Structure 1
Amino acid sequence: MTSAEGRLRPARPRPGRIFYLVALLPMILGFAAMGVILATQLPKMKDGLQQIVVPGAREVALEPGTHTVFLETRSVVEGRAYVVDEVPGLQVRVEDAEGASVALSDPAASSTYSLGGRQGRSIGAFRIEQAGIYRVSADYGEGGGPQAVIAVGRDFIGGLLISIFSSLGAVFAGLGLTVGLAIWIYVSRHRARAGD
């Protein structure tokens, strides 16, 4: 190819700098998706925890599966705040509709949460095979103790982790696409400049 033919070769189009702004779009959408996931799922998670003020009892509707009992060290029930650190001697009991006791055990793994002004840690677990109304109660036996709040939830921690990792996945996916697009734009501009 002669130098004249080289000069007549059309210049390779170069992506403009505006494309860098376009590359930010996946990152922005990733953070937006994170916000939507957390805003829609976390309130559902909180509502899934059924609270009982103790000493006291409450009848709750439960689905089959393993349920975790949490002690809420920071909680609000009907506008009243409850703050406790320890509840020595607190005994939790679960009974089915016929009054039969449901066996409680230590939770498979220690778990904590902080959600919407509520903080809790797992103190027990139980498994039921049939859906229905169950009576959950707790007291200090012969002794006394502070008023506190316990909460019962099924697969709460698992659902919480799914929501968190889903939101983080959306963010990292957006960041990855943004970085990939930025690199592609930079390389394309560099090659176009070299070909001028």
Structure 2
Amino acid sequence: MDMRGGRSASKAPARGWYALGCLPVILGFAAFIGILVAQLPKMDDELKQIVVPGAAELALEPGRHTVFLEYRSVVDGKVYAIDQVPGLSVRVEASDGTPVAVRAPMGSASYSLGGRRGEAIDVFEVDRAGTYRISADYGETAGPETVIAVGQDFMQEMFVVILSAMGVVAVGLLLSAAVIVAIYLPRRKARRPT
């Protein structure tokens, strides 16, 4: 053992090893960005857009579906931008014409993805898979042309994607802290006089 000035120089990791402690957090942030870049565009595609006033037939799976009013949207290259849609009414019918109950959502939910911004305005549930006709209009009054989007469990999926990405960053931060502590403690011990 090399003793210099009463200190043990052989057991202390070099100061440069602290740079290794930054690597997990850098990789965590890179993975965060990678997850968001890979997953959010897929989610954008899961929302089925309908220009309204108008209607569309959509193949839906059983479960709860949310109708979003897209305040900013693009459909077939046409840009839609609206601030208010007073009196817009959404209706859902099964393929045999049976109406499906549509109600206001319990809470607020909104998104901003790839130039599209939307807010939940209605929810409905279907108990069997099939084709459903979704329409929206202003009743007897005229209203602006705009876009609604229909998605199943969209906000939950977005939450899972964002939470997963944040979890990767948290793991990176914890690993970085562990590496830095693992370097600091031997260096501190080596600096103590024997």
TM-score if structure 2 supplies the norm length? 0.92
Whether 1:116 aligns to 2:114 is yes
Secondary structure at the aligned position of 1:142 is classed as: coil
Query: Aligned equivalents of 2:193 and 2:163: distance in 1?
Result: 44
Secondary structure at the residue paired with 1:75?
strand
Deviations, residues 80-111 of structure 1 (Å, cap 9, x unaligned)? 11011111111111111111111101112211
The residue aligned with 1:99 is 97
Conservation of the 8 A alpha-carbon contact between 1:60 and 1:134: yes
**Any runs of at least 4 consecutive aligned residues in structure 1 with deviations exceeding 3 A, and if so which?**
none
Taking only the aligned residue pairs, the percentage that are identical comes to 53
Does structure 2 retain, via aligned residues, the 8 Å contact 1:33–1:167?
A: yes
SS in 2 for 1:125: strand
Aligned letter for 1:60? L
The answer as to whether partners of 1:12 and 1:195 remain within 8 angstroms in 2 is no
Cα distance in 2 for partners of 1:46, 1:138 equals 21
CA deviation digits over 1:104-161, x for unaligned, max 9? Answer: 0111221111111111111000000111111111111111000000000011111111
Indicate yes or no: 2:168 matched with 1:175: no
Of 170, 185, 188 in structure 2, the residue corresponding to residue 187 of structure 1 is: 185
Give 2:56's aligned residue: 58
Question: Which has the larger share of strand?
Answer: 2
1:14 aligns with 2:12: yes
Shift of 1:43: 1.0
The one-letter code sitting in structure 2 at the alignment partner of 1:156 is: F
- C-alpha change, 1:11 and 1:18, in structure 2 (3 Å) is closer
Listed one character per residue, the Cα deviations across residues 6-59 of structure 1 (whole Å, up to 9, x for unaligned) are x9xx86421112211111111111112112211121111111100000001111
Tell me whether 1:35 sits opposite 2:33 in the alignment.
Answer: yes
Match of 1:81, as an amino acid? V
Question: 2:80 is aligned with what amino acid?
Answer: Y
Q: Is the 8 A contact 1:25 1:178 kept in 2?
A: yes
How far apart, CA to CA, are the structure 1 residues paired with 2:119 and 2:24? 37
1:3 aligned partner = none
* CA deviation after TM superposition for structure 1 residue 70, in Å: 0.5
**TM superposition shift of 1:195:** 5.3
Q: Note the residue ranges of structure 1 that are not aligned, 5 or more in a row.
A: 1-6
Structure 1 residue 180, shift from structure 2 partner: 2.2
- Shift of residue 193, structure 1, vs aligned partner: 2.4
| More displaced stretch, 74-83 vs 107-116 | 107-116
Tell me the alpha carbon deviations over residues 55-79 of structure 1, each in whole angstroms, 9 at most, x when there is no partner: 0111111111000000000101111
